[in-house]
Amino acid sequence: MTTAPDSGGSHGRGLLDRVLSRARSTLRSQWLLDTSVYALYTVAVVFFIFPVLWVVSASLRPAGELFSYPFRLLPPSVSLSAYRRVFGAGMVTWLLNSTVITVVSVAGIVAVSIPAAYAFSRFEFRGRRGLLGVVLLFQMISPVIIIVPLYTVMSTLGLLRTRAGLVLLYVGIQTPFSIWLLKGYFDTVPVELDYAARIDGCNRLQTLRHVLLRPVAPGVAVVCIFNTVLTWSEFVLAFTVIGGESALHTISIGVYKFQGQYGNDWRAIAAASVVGMLPLVLVFVGLQRYFVKGLVEGSLKGQ
């Protein structure tokens, strides 16, 4: 007697082999993709971290060893003379001025942007779309382009060499971006919350304050962090408005003061840059979870 071949078993093993082969191919492709992504991340991190490490290393090197060969990221000896010179030149005053200007500017930006974004999101009025376009247009204009008319206006109003003039410029220039960002958050909040608050007796301001601010809090955090970074490190407007008033110099102007006509004190520039970066690093580390939460929620709400 002859036994018929087990065609069903052969077919099953062939199907299993094809499934396993496809699974291995998928896993291999996924592994290659993950490896490429992590390699790209590594290159990006090194690209952005190395200059920071170089600045820190330069600030700690003794005089005459900044451009020594061969270059080593860890200096053979550490010197704090650059930091002593920076603090002797007025670093505490620069930090205080930058802190006051940044805090007041960000508070003003938030105070203007929240009600404006709420109005654009909730109210229907004639010219609403056109006004939104104008706001976006102002955001696209670089302050460098309009620096001359800004200087003329500040001079006419008597706001040159004052903190108030610089704060007003920051609020006016950085508010359009903040309005557009916060409007997107307000648009995602259900209008039924407004109706419920009105039924409970809340007016528009009370509805905004007690009902809608909590859902858009991540967006407010993002606005605060972005504007803090931009205001703290801004140089062109600060130098134009404050000018030679040394008592009002910010950290960005302080770093610039170590650049001379016939040479630059790179160690002092590096030390001032490190000290100027530390407050921003501390703010970002302290508010990192709110920043990430705001960006993630904003991206999800935009879908």
Packing angle between helix 91-122 and helix 163-188, nearest 10 degrees? Answer: 40
pLDDT for the residue 11 = 57
Q: Same domain for 221 and 235?
A: yes
User: Which is it for the CA torsion 160, 161, 164, 168, positive or negative?
Assistant: positive
Of 57, 79, 101, the domain-final residue: 79
* Same domain assignment for residues 6 and 151: no
CA atoms of 230 and 228, how far apart (whole Å): 6
The domain spanning residue 226 has which CATH number? 1.10.3720.10
Instruction: Report how many domains make up the chain.
Output: 2
pLDDT at 140: 80
pLDDT of residue 252: 93
Task: Give yes or no: residues 121 and 53 share one domain.
Answer: no
Q: What is the pLDDT of residue 1?
A: 47
The confidence score (pLDDT) of residue 26 equals 80
What's residue 95's pLDDT?
95
pLDDT of residue 29: 79
Do 168 and 159 contact (CB within 8 A), yes or no? Answer: yes
33 and 117 inside one domain: no
Compute the distance between CA of residue 164 and CA of residue 104 in angstroms, rounded to an integer: 9
The residue among 31, 58, 79 that closes a domain is 79
- Say yes or no: 275 and 137 in one domain: yes
- Domain extent, residue 29, equals 1-79
Q: Residue written as tokens 């006051």?
A: 100
DSSP 8-class letter at 247? G
Q: Is 110 exposed, middle or buried (0-12, 13-18, 19+ CB in 10 A)?
A: middle
Positions in the chain short of pLDDT 70:
1-17, 68-71, 261-263, 288-303
pTM: 0.80
Residue 202 sits in the same domain as residue 182: yes
Torsion angle of the four alpha carbons 254, 259, 264, 265, in this order, in degrees rounded to the nearest 10: -20
C-alpha 27/C-alpha 202 separation (Å) is 57
CA–CA separation, 158 and 71 (whole Å): 50
> What CA–CA distance (Å, rounded) separates 271 from 86?
7
At a CB cut-off of 8 Å and minimum separation 6, what does 26 contact?
A: none
pLDDT of residue 299: 45
Same domain, 72 and 116: no
Residues 152 and 200 in one domain: yes
